[in-house]
Amino acid sequence: MSTNQLRILVVDDEPVVHAVIEEALRAPGRELLFASSVGDAGQIIKANTTIDVALLDKNLPDGSGFDVGRQLKERDPEVEVILMTGFATVDSAVDAVKLGVFDYVTKPFDDINRLVLQVQNAGEKVRLKREHRRLVARLLDSEQRYTLATLGANDGLWDWDLLTEQMYFAPRWKDIVGCSDVEIGSSPEEWFSRIHPEDAVRVRSLIRTHIDGHLPQFKDEHRMLHKDGTYRWVLVRGVATRDSTGRAVRMAGSQTDITESRLAEQQMQYDALHDAVTFLPNRVLFLDRLGQAVARARRRTDYRFAVVLLDLDRFKIVNDSLGHTSGDELLGAAARRLETCMRAGDTAARLGGDEFALLLDDLRNLEDAVHVADRIQTELAKPLNISGKEVFVTSSIGIAVSNQTYSRPEDLLRDADIAMYRAKAQGKARHVVFDPAMQGRPVRLLELDTALRRAIERREFLLHYQPIIALDGGRIVGFEALVRWQHPERGMVGPGEFIPVAEETGLIIPISRLVLEDASRQVRAWQAHFPALPPLYVSVNISTRHLMFPGLVEDVSRVMRESAALPNGLRLEITESAVMENAETAAGVLEALKGLKVQIYMDDFGTGYSSLSYLHRLPIDSVKIDRSFVSSLGKEGENSVIVHTIITLARALGMEVIAEGVETADQLLQLRALKCDHAQGFFFAKPMAPDAASALLERHPTW
Ligand code: C2E
Ligand code: MG
Ligand code: MG
């Protein structure tokens, strides 16, 4: 770089990359050379005595960018190499580090300015290194050390008289170890006593070897004790001067503080293997550790491990509504919670997006893995504080346990993935252990999706209605509409089997619209047919996806207009988790629905983690106590206390309470005693076809 011209070699087999780079980097003072293959690059390297910076594509038609990098580095260790790739494997990351790659960029370039900056930095670094070398070279063959010292080079110079054992240390040398001029004497021990114990023997022996004439120069990187008690990394070079007999009489050289670049190098190694958002190991490192575990399991029959794969259910919705910074914060918080669920020796990694994995090492039995999954789900379900807002997430988990037939880490990940999909299909916030019978599962998911699409076209969905009873007087006040799929071959399919999949694929929206239309038509028909009864209502379940769907309010307003049912005829049931997961958006939607005079029920209350007082801030009219609390009423004291508390609080907050899943007379009695408003359950009636519901109204039963 004697001409001050920065010579940049770009090796890439895509002409378009040449064009983009030429456009971005062309500037006075820069000379750009382009090659398309390892062979081409070799010719250019031969023809140019110096190359300063190289931008290398990792995959070339006749080899790899590493080959070119190695060639360049062998000829001139000062060249700066920037690799253009994504680090796809551990090998390439390690290769890159070995090569001393200064930096890397991933293609396609999403920020060309970053590339320009990287090239500028690389150029600056080369310039400094070359200047440094020139200075040291001049020092070593002349008496110019004082001149050099005043040049302000980063080097601390030293000069050692081997005959008198007196040593000169320049101010900068003393500065590197944190000492002032007067604090360091002129004994060589000032140097040796500060060298880190692990490096000291090597340094002395290298110096000895050089003095004895077996090494052309002394050069070593080692740690030096700083006055503040820390160690600094230094690069020390020196050369001996000899008398006519060849005996070394004097040795002089320089000491450079390289702590920063050492740290940068460590940082780069770290970055290549970790995720920048959560600081967890990334996929590359995870697969590496998993690979080691697979190998160990093949050697040792008593060694077992498991892969726990999870993703945060509907993380995307949280991310979209609160913004990416909050999304990142959420990922970080989730990562910290994951770490609390593992033991030393386990690995938690972020594989990408909202997907995390745990490698549970040295497992005693399968139950241990399931236990960890349980803990993860409990931990993750606790509210998180993200940018001052409470956010709730749940996770679907797939578990794959090692066996001797696994030979590749990817296979375990794939099986854990299949299990995770099954967990999602079963309704999220669950964990499922892989078993080989699941192999075909993704296909079945796909089939289900196709079948659902067809079912929507053919209108194969129908509604069953379950009466809701006023406990004071025992009258039917309304019905809950529960969807069924009249499958041409399989017969009646329950919502549990297809709603979660429809949520996942988005088909829930058209299905939900059909349900809304049907239910409003039905309530209008009943109101017209039973004019003597106080106006009935029908409540419809609204899924998370539909709640977050921008057209929901419009959908509801349209069916209300079309059916012309009486006010309060249509009510919506929304689950606690749907509201809590997307609190901000949900609050707005609920307000808009209130504007349409639609009553809102909180469904499955008690299964999530919201508090009643929080719900009070939302326009909710009633809460439905989840079946799980009602079913154990009277069996365990604790549940009746919970039910009692919910009822008392809800009343205080002006909300009505509906008990779900009442199955026995005893439960009914207790609910009455607790002054619960409404109830619903098999004790009164199962969900039934519209005709049966009409017949029931006809008879007008009272319980
Ligand atoms: P959900 O909204 O909590 O509905 C109550 C569920 O409990 C219904 O199950 C009902 O048949 C059942 N059930 C009622 N009383 C009893 C009882 O005494 N004992 C027992 N063991 N179960 C009782 P179903 O119809 O299978 O619906 C399950 C879930 O599917 C519903 O829970 C709801 O979350 C969802 N779902 C149903 N229809 C729709 C719909 O149209 N749209 C959406 N998004 N979800 C729906
Ligand atoms: Mg419901
Ligand atoms: Mg419910």
* pLDDT tens digits for range 147-188: 444 444 567 888 899 999 999 888 889 999 999 988 999 999
**Rounded-to-integer distance, Cα 479 and Cα 465, Å:** 6
* Cα 175 to ligand 2 centre (Å): 74
More confident residue, 78 or 370: 370
Among 314-318, 369-373, 418-422, the least confident range = 314-318
**Rounded-to-integer distance, Cα 126 and Cα 132, Å:** 10
Whole-number Cα distances in Å, 457 to 460, 487, 511, 545, 646: 8, 13, 10, 20, 42
More confident residue, 545 or 51: 51
Q: Could you tell which of 541, 668, 680 is best to mutate to test the pocket of ligand 1, judged by most ligand atoms within 8 Å of the CB?
A: 541
Mean pLDDT of the chain: 87
What's at 546, amino acid-wise?
A: H
**Rounded-to-integer distance, Cα 134 and Cα 238, Å:** 14
Host H or E run for residue 6? strand 6-11
Report whether 371 contacts 404 (CB < 8 A): no
| Residue 32: predicted pLDDT | 95
For ligand 1, residues with CB inside 6 Å are: 466, 482-483, 494-496, 499, 512, 515, 541, 543, 573, 603-604, 627, 660-663, 680-682, 687
Is residue 1 over pLDDT 60? no
**Rounded-to-integer distance, Cα 234 and Cα 249, Å:** 25
**Rounded-to-integer distance, Cα 115 and Cα 103, Å:** 10
What's the distance, Cα to Cα, between the start and end of the chain in Å? 96
| Residue 33: predicted pLDDT | 96
- Kindly report whether the global pTM for this prediction surpasses the value 0.85: no
| Residue 438: predicted pLDDT | 75
* Cα 504 to ligand 3 centre (Å): 20
Q: Which atom of ligand 1 is nearest to the CA of 626?
A: 3
* Cα 420 to ligand 1 centre (Å): 24
* Cα 482 to ligand 1 centre (Å): 6
Which among 541, 533, 534, 314 is positioned nearest to 429, based on CA atoms?
Answer: 314
Is residue 668 over pLDDT 90? yes
Hey, what are 445's tokens?
């998911």
How far is it between the farthest Cα atoms of the chain? 126
The residues near 418 (Cβ < 8 Å, ≥ 6 apart) are 398, 434, 438, 439, 441, 442
Residues 588-641 have pLDDT tens digits of 999 999 999 999 999 988 776 566 666 777 899 999 998 988 987 866 556 677
* Cα 492 to ligand 1 centre (Å): 14
* Cα 355 to ligand 3 centre (Å): 29
Residues 561-572 have pLDDT tens digits of 988 877 789 999
Minimum CA distance residue for ligand 1 atom 12:
661
Question: What ligand is nearest to the CA atom of residue 465?
Answer: 1
Torsion of CA 62, 66, 72, 74, to 10 degrees: -120
Q: Which atom of ligand 1 is nearest to the CA of 682?
A: 18
What's at 154, amino acid-wise?
A: N
**Rounded-to-integer distance, Cα 16 and Cα 4, Å:** 28
Which among 119, 129, 130 is positioned nearest to 10, based on CA atoms?
Answer: 119
Residues 71-91 have pLDDT tens digits of 998 888 889 998 887 655 555
Minimum CA distance residue for ligand 1 atom 2:
541
Q: Which atom of ligand 1 is nearest to the CA of 495?
A: 30
Hey, what are 35's tokens?
């090659």
Is residue 351 over pLDDT 60? yes
Hey, what are 403's tokens?
């066996």
* Cα 660 to ligand 3 centre (Å): 6
Report whether 609 contacts 392 (CB < 8 A): yes
Taking a 5 Å cut-off on Cβ, the residues next to ion ligand 2 are 541, 573, 603
